[in-house]
Copies of this chain bind each other. A is one copy, B any other.
């Protein structure tokens, strides 16, 4: 299922909230400004209308202009004669050639703290904004605050999930003395490859998780084999090979991660059918797995092993190309090459 919200979607959601609020105020236009805590500035997160691009280049200091005053004081404000109000900042109108007749501006607060400002500009039909407008507009600002806070909590939780998965992958990796940083590098390579393939945002998220968790099954491989400081016997190699199935089994218990299972299970398949665990061929191998396979192999080739030195980057690239169409999917290798040429790998 679609478990991960995108930031773009959140921006769309905020835009629609400001549109609804502006409509409710019977205003010509409206905007949502957010507080940037580090820089102690207000920036336009949403600005309706055709001046949006220009407005978004403007930032206000806390205390500057009506919005800056509202953000600093945490109080609402109706300004029906901006020219007579010393707090009014003419700069925005100046840059956008817009004429502010009147405006209503309320703080957006989460747990007593101002995180932004919602404003509606120019009441339609030349009327003034009223106390009744203020009451409604404040209600809407509370809803926006809740939505913003929920989005923040969601993103924090998403980061927590990735950090937990990465920490555990690291810990598992540490049992394998030859793979320091492997998971991180594979994830980096996979995401670079993905930029040159037609993947949907949700598929990129899946790819990221699959890359982080691709070797998770090594948790079930005994030390004697995993830590052997020499090339493995065929029997021992058979045990190691089991890690992709073991990893898939672990992840299969996590309902929301079902879409990641194929990426983990089949990251050692080869397009010529000579991989494991299933000997899948060509199009039968899921794309996520094909990408992880290229990232994983490239990293293995370019790092030292107990029984051989690392290849140079150039030699590894040559090997990827040579095996495009036999071991690797040709398109994935091409995407890798593009990412490499653009300095992303």
Contacts and interface: CB of A to CB of B under 8 A. Distances in A.
A202 interface: no
Interface in A141-158: 142-143, 146-147, 150-151, 153-154, 156-158
A174 B161 CA distance: 22
Contacts of A5: 150, 153
B254 A16 contact: no
Given A136-B23, A154-B154, A254 B160 contact: yes
A256 B160 contact: yes
A289 B79 CA distance: 56
A92 interface: no
Interface residues of A, number: 54
B250 A168 contact: yes
Contact of A142 (B20, B154, B160): B20
A255 interface: yes
A108 to B, nearest CB: 14
Given A224-B223, A256-B160, A139 B216 contact: no
A344 interface: no
The number of times this chain is found in the oligomer is 2
6 contacts: A1-B156, A154-B154, A163-B254, A164-B164, A171-B216, A174-B220
A154 B3 CA distance: 9
A52 interface: no
Interface in A200-250: 216, 219-220, 222-224, 246, 250
Given A216-B168, A220-B171, A161 B163 contact: no
A175 B219 contact: yes
A257 interface: yes
B219 A140 contact: no
A13 interface: yes
Contacts of A164: 161, 164-165, 254, 257
A172 interface: yes
Nearest to A14: B146
Contacts of A158: 157
Nearest to A158: B157
Interface string A50-77: 0000000000000000000000000000
Given A143-B143, A168-B216, A219-B175, A151 B150 contact: yes
A20 B139 contact: yes
